[in-house]
Amino acid sequence: MTAKAVAEANTNIALVKYWGKNDDHFNLPAVPSLSLTLAGLRTRTEVSFEADLASDRLLLNEHEVTGEPLAKVSRHLDRVMRDLGVAARASALVRSHNNFPTAAGLASSASAFAALSVAAAGALRPGFVLDDAARRRLAVLARQGSGSAARSLYGGVVVLGTGTPGQVDSARASQVLRETDWPELRLVIGVASESAKDTGSTDGMKHTAATSPYFAPFVAAAPADLRQAMTAVQSRDLEALGHVAERSALRMHASALAADPAVVYLRGATIEGLHALRALRRRGIAAFFTCDAGPHPKALTHARDADAVAAALAAVPGVLRTIIAAPGPGARLIEDSGP
Ligand code: DP6
């Protein structure tokens, strides 16, 4: 007997950064975050429960993955199963594809755990419908796989709260703007070469929280960042939103840089990217820096300036190419088929 479903989820980039947890077990963020879901950068995942499979398997872009990443997927399938009140499951074949190059270091646990959550629910529950209530529930589950994944359940601009330690369903994601509400928004990614493997975000944020004297001030500043970002989003004020986004990203990296030993994601291309964006601003082009747990400089801008911003980032030594992304949709079920 086979039960399978396919889901897609787009990645998202935080404009107010999630960095640090207030509950490791339930994966509750220490700070609220605000993100933009991106069109065109998506993970498509098929979950197929197969009675004749001895154990779970994970194929990522057709390559067999084992070890801890597979174990994380298995735990997540169990988590979705328990939440749906399903008593048992067959072993699963999970096939996941990113339509953006994994080698470029843009591989995103956000789109991965969002798509996995939806596909698992679709496969476990015949006739599963991704309505508002199901989406809310799956966002809580996806967050336990990876905090940022909760935000990819929704399109457009999304907020993720901090929650209450010890309460698994407390940190909720919700949509602030639909992807069609501010269609001129663009996120430009400068894909930078990576000469060394980065510290993953989970390890990087835990180490920052444990050792950085700047972590507590970062956490203390976050609620004001979120408030200002929400006001800017409501009034479609790119300047104000960009200002907060740049500040939040730099404060996140400042806290990581002050860890002991330092967590350093910034490379030459990242810093030169930041300067290139500030130079554009002096010429009257609204372009604001952000950066995650990797070297790629990213810019928040307006559609009419996106090509100029991409050209400026492309001219930065170490930037290999650029991607321009508009606001994108939330996670969705593509098909499901029962036994
Ligand atoms: C820098 O969601 O990858 O991208 O919950 O441990 O899986 P885990 O962390 P993850 O962290 C994302 C960190 C970030 C900022 C952000 O997306 O808010």
Residues in the chain: 339
Measure the CA–CA gap between 109 and 69, rounded to whole angstroms: 11
The pLDDT, as a whole number, for residue 336 is: 46
Question: Is the whole-model pTM more than 0.85?
Answer: yes
Strand bridging mode 92-98 / 57-60: parallel
Reduced to 3 states (helix: H, G, I; strand: E, B; else coil), residue 301 is strand
2 bridge partner residues: 50
For residue 337, the CA-to-ligand 1 centroid distance in Å is: 32
The pLDDT, as a whole number, for residue 2 is: 76
Tens of pLDDT along the chain (339 residues)? 679 999 999 999 999 999 999 999 999 999 999 999 999 999 999 999 999 999 999 999 999 999 999 999 999 999 999 999 999 999 999 999 998 766 455 657 999 999 999 999 999 999 999 999 999 999 999 999 999 999 999 999 999 999 899 999 999 999 999 999 999 999 999 999 765 567 899 999 999 999 999 999 999 999 999 999 999 999 999 999 999 999 999 999 999 999 999 999 999 999 999 999 999 999 999 999 999 999 999 999 999 999 999 999 999 999 999 999 999 999 999 974 444
For residue 126, the CA-to-ligand 1 centroid distance in Å is: 32
The pLDDT, as a whole number, for residue 339 is: 42
Task: Locate 35 and state its tokens.
Answer: 């993100």
User: Which atom of ligand 1 is the closest one to the Cα of 13?
Assistant: 17
Hey, which of 35, 148, 168, 207 would you mutate to test ligand 1's pocket, going by the most ligand atoms within 8 Å of its Cβ? 148
Measure the CA–CA gap between 186 and 1, rounded to whole angstroms: 45
User: Which atom of ligand 1 is the closest one to the Cα of 202?
Assistant: 6
Measure the CA–CA gap between 322 and 191, rounded to whole angstroms: 6
Measure the CA–CA gap between 248 and 205, rounded to whole angstroms: 15
The pLDDT, as a whole number, for residue 194 is: 65
Distance from chain centroid for Cα 73: 17
Which amino acids bring their CB within 6 angstroms of ligand 1? 14, 17-19, 27, 33, 109, 146-148, 201-202, 292-293
Nearest CA owner, ligand 1 atom 3: 201
The pLDDT, as a whole number, for residue 338 is: 46
Nearest CA owner, ligand 1 atom 6: 202
The pLDDT, as a whole number, for residue 197 is: 67
Would you say 331 and 117 are in contact if contact means Cβ atoms under 8 Å apart? yes
All domains in the chain, ordered by first residue: 2-181 (3.30.230.10), 185-325 (3.30.70.890)
The pLDDT, as a whole number, for residue 105 is: 56
